[in-house]
Amino acid sequence: GQQLNQSPQSMFIQEGEDVSMNCTSSSIFNTWLWYKQDPGEGPVLLIALYKAGELTSNGRLTAQFGITRKDSFLNISASIPSDVGIYFCAGQKDNYGQNFVFGPGTRLSVLP
């Protein structure tokens, strides 16, 4: 079935550093979503991408829809302690936007 890979699996960075993570698949996707999840809470939508090559920003976050439509990248600039959490990518292949598959997540820790 559909499967997404995320890397790195986890990362420890110093406050103020920039962060890069990615999401890849062997299949083509039509939509990519990036979520952040804090412990015991639901995922919060960060960025949605709908077109190959699209680059979208949300504050210190920037995400890109890969040209091949098989990957997406999320960058966080000038990390702060509240960036700690698990970052999930989610991809959707069909045209109805209903059946998303989630990647395994990247766990981010920010050291003061």
Partner 1 sequence: DTEVTQTPKHLVMGMTNKKSLKCEQHMGHRAMYWYKQKAKKPPELMFVYSYEKLSINESVPSRFSPECPNSSLLNLHLHALQPEDSALYLCASSPTAGETYEQYFGPGTRLTVT
Nearer to partner 1, 40 or 112 (CB): 40
Q: Cβ 19 to partner 1, closest distance in Å? A: 19
> Which backbone phi and psi does 27 adopt, to 5 degrees?
-110, 160
Nearer to partner 1, 60 or 102 (CB): 102
Determine the Cα–Cα distance for residues 98 and 103; give it in Å rounded to an integer: 16
Start-to-end CA span in the chain (Å):
40
Cα–Cα nearest to 35, from 24, 25, 46:
46
Binding of residue 102 to partner 1 (CB under 8 A)? yes
Cβ(47)–Cβ(36) below 8 Å: no
State which of positions 13-32 bind partner 1 (CB under 8 A). 31
Determine the Cα–Cα distance for residues 97 and 77; give it in Å rounded to an integer: 29
- Percent helix, strand, coil in the chain (nearest 5)? 5, 55, 45
Interaction pattern, residues 70-99, with partner 1; x per rule: CB under 8 A: ------------------x-x-x---xxxx
Binding of residue 40 to partner 1 (CB under 8 A)? yes
Nearer to partner 1, 33 or 110 (CB): 33
Q: Cβ 48 to partner 1, closest distance in Å? A: 5
Residues that bind partner 1 (CB under 8 A): 31, 33, 35, 40-45, 48, 50, 88, 90, 92, 96-105
